[in-house]
Amino acid sequence: MAQPAAAKRGIPPKDDFNAWYPFMVEAAELVDKRYPVKGMDVWRPYGWKAMRLIDGLTHAEMERTGHQEVNFPLLIPEQLLEKENRLVARLQRAREEGVDPSELRMDEEATGFAREVFWVRHAGETELDVPMFLRPTSETAMYSMFPLWIRSHADLPLKTYQMVNTFRYETKQTRSFIRVREIHFFEAHTCHVDEADATRQIEEDLEIAARLMHDLCLPTLVARRPLWDTFPGAHYTVGIDVVMPDGRTLQVASVHHYRDQWARAFDVRYEDAQGEQQYCHQTTYGMSERLLGAVVGVHGDDRGLILPPAIAPHQAVIVPVLAKEGADDVLAACRELQAQLRDAGLRVHLDDRDLRPGQKYYDWEIRGVPLRLELGPRDLASGECVLAPRTGGKDSVPLAGATEAVKEALEAVAAELRKRTEKANNTCIHVLPPLTRSATGRLSLAEPVEPGRIYEIPFDGSDAEAAMVEELTGHSFLGDAREPFAKARKCAVSGKSTNRRVWLARSY
């Protein structure tokens, strides 16, 4: 049997995802990993453009929903971290003692909540009076300013966001976009008059996420995280995960309802209509360059990336097919076609390099350009050009109506990506049969668990039972699906009746 074309070109097969992914992020010139600091890649123009297009979608959503963009300093003084430490310690104690955290006082000592942050303690030859750290996220920085901006209920809701670089000292293996030490990050932070209004914000955030994921052609799992996997200081966390080709889930967004817990720690208050001081209820919504990692991982194939048209730096590339005769006419027609498509607002590149068409096809396939247009002397003679979608197929269309045809073809590529990924997601999720329990109360699996699968179970057990399930399956609790079972089922562990639909997965 002949060797597949991709293998000839040195591309690992996508089935070997752990080889394919790191190969592809460099082969498609998204990033360069040769920068001499571990976990800090250089964004190359093509990758950065794709990321900025994703950011553009996010900006548009923020504008639509009345969020305002701010930009906070990168460096956070140590004392603000201590404030956060006290908050977390207080909440841990409340959880252990089973009391409402608002009943506890705020003057506990910090418990040395070890954060994976980079520290700045020196500048030039000077040791700084106050050590500072590079933001891993901006709660502490922002919530020390919000009290200065909020006076009364008329200032609420306060809806802000920023797109910034954040830093985590990852000790695990790093992976481009997925686990890096400098993170291109989006974070929205909001303040509200009460819990109900903050809850409405959570719903709006999930709607924003759904719209973005639609543009990225990514199906998601939206789950309320178990308590032990809730963000520090949060009342609850909703995680949004994408299933990667190896069956592991990648959290690409998370939304946190803080109630008034951070507000109490940072004194974020307002005067209500009756003149009384009240604590704000707060939410945050975070996303990152992982969105691009998910796009790369989910949509690519053995030949390279496939970029959703909404974020492709080149939505279409025009490749002239030149013969000895009429080359000038073909090139002129290609330029005219490019101008026509650009006037319609499309991002179109004309590849007029002095290379054979086959080499160009290969280059743009690797880079995942959703649509290739070919134009040669025969096409020109018949007043047509060839459309070759990256998802397969080929078609000739009249040059005169090319703009509409290109727009339709791009829509079709997006629809095809959504169809493929929905299907992959559905085949990935399996029902875990009820666990069996021995006379001594020991749980065991009814059938072996496969690492590349996500399992769905009805569950209403205790934290201890959840921990047992995690140990038996090697999978973690992703959390409660946003949509519980319509009809009650028997809990896979206790047998009790429940509507809770819980997912188990291996995660990145």
Using CB under 8 A as the binding rule, whether residue 134 contacts a second copy is answered as yes
Using CB under 8 A as the binding rule, whether residue 52 contacts a second copy is answered as yes
Per-position x/- string for 57-86, each x denoting binding to a second copy as judged by CB under 8 A, each - no binding:
-----------xxxxxxxx-x-xx------
Instruction: Compute the radius of gyration of the chain from its Cα atoms.
Output: 26
CB of 79 to a second copy, least distance (A): 8
Question: d(Cα 352, Cα 349) in Å, to the nearest integer?
Answer: 9
CA angle 164/417/425 to nearest 5° reads 85
Element housing 257 (H / E): strand 249-259
Among 9, 22, 40, 484, binds a second copy (CB under 8 A): 40
CB of 137 to a second copy, least distance (A): 16
CB of 460 to a second copy, least distance (A): 38
How far apart are the two ends of the chain, measured CA to CA in Å?
A: 36
CB of 182 to a second copy, least distance (A): 5
Instruction: For residue 142, count other CB atoms closer than 10 A to its CB.
Output: 24
Backbone angles phi, psi at 470, to 5 degrees: -60, -40
Q: Which of 505, 502, 503 is nearest to 450 (CA)?
A: 505
CB closer to a second copy out of 76 and 388: 76
Backbone angles phi, psi at 356, to 5 degrees: -70, 145
Contact status, residue 340 vs residue 271, Cβ threshold 8 Å:
no
Tell me the two tokens of residue 75: 């460096």
Total interface residues for a second copy by CB under 8 A: 53
DSSP letter assigned to residue 308: -
Using CB under 8 A as the binding rule, whether residue 169 contacts a second copy is answered as yes
Query: Please, is 319 exposed, middle or buried when counting C-beta atoms within 10 Å of its C-beta (0-12, 13-18, 19+)?
Result: buried
CB closer to a second copy out of 120 and 445: 120
> What region, left, alpha or beta, does residue 103 occupy, with left being phi > 0 and alpha being psi -120 to 50 degrees?
alpha
CB closer to a second copy out of 338 and 391: 338
CB of 286 to a second copy, least distance (A): 19
CB closer to a second copy out of 79 and 396: 79
CB of 212 to a second copy, least distance (A): 20
Contact status, residue 185 vs residue 253, Cβ threshold 8 Å:
no
Using CB under 8 A as the binding rule, whether residue 311 contacts a second copy is answered as no
| Length of the chain measured in residues | 508
Query: Please, is 160 exposed, middle or buried when counting C-beta atoms within 10 Å of its C-beta (0-12, 13-18, 19+)?
Result: buried
Question: d(Cα 288, Cα 294) in Å, to the nearest integer?
Answer: 11
Within 175-214, the residues that bind a second copy by CB under 8 A are 182, 184
CB closer to a second copy out of 159 and 235: 159
CB closer to a second copy out of 273 and 464: 273
Among 48, 246, 481, 507, binds a second copy (CB under 8 A): 48
Using CB under 8 A as the binding rule, whether residue 327 contacts a second copy is answered as no
Among 5, 7, 19, 42, binds a second copy (CB under 8 A): 42
Using CB under 8 A as the binding rule, whether residue 110 contacts a second copy is answered as no
Question: d(Cα 297, Cα 479) in Å, to the nearest integer?
Answer: 23
CB of 164 to a second copy, least distance (A): 8
Among 64, 121, 200, 430, binds a second copy (CB under 8 A): 121
CB of 275 to a second copy, least distance (A): 19
CB of 83 to a second copy, least distance (A): 11
CB of 124 to a second copy, least distance (A): 5
Element housing 470 (H / E): helix 463-473
Among 111, 165, 427, 462, binds a second copy (CB under 8 A): 165
Question: d(Cα 53, Cα 51) in Å, to the nearest integer?
Answer: 5
Question: d(Cα 488, Cα 119) in Å, to the nearest integer?
Answer: 51
Using CB under 8 A as the binding rule, whether residue 449 contacts a second copy is answered as no
- The residues binding a second copy (CB under 8 A) are 32, 34-37, 40-45, 48-49, 52, 68-75, 77, 79-80, 114-126, 130, 132, 134, 141, 144-145, 148-149, 160, 164-165, 167, 169, 182, 184
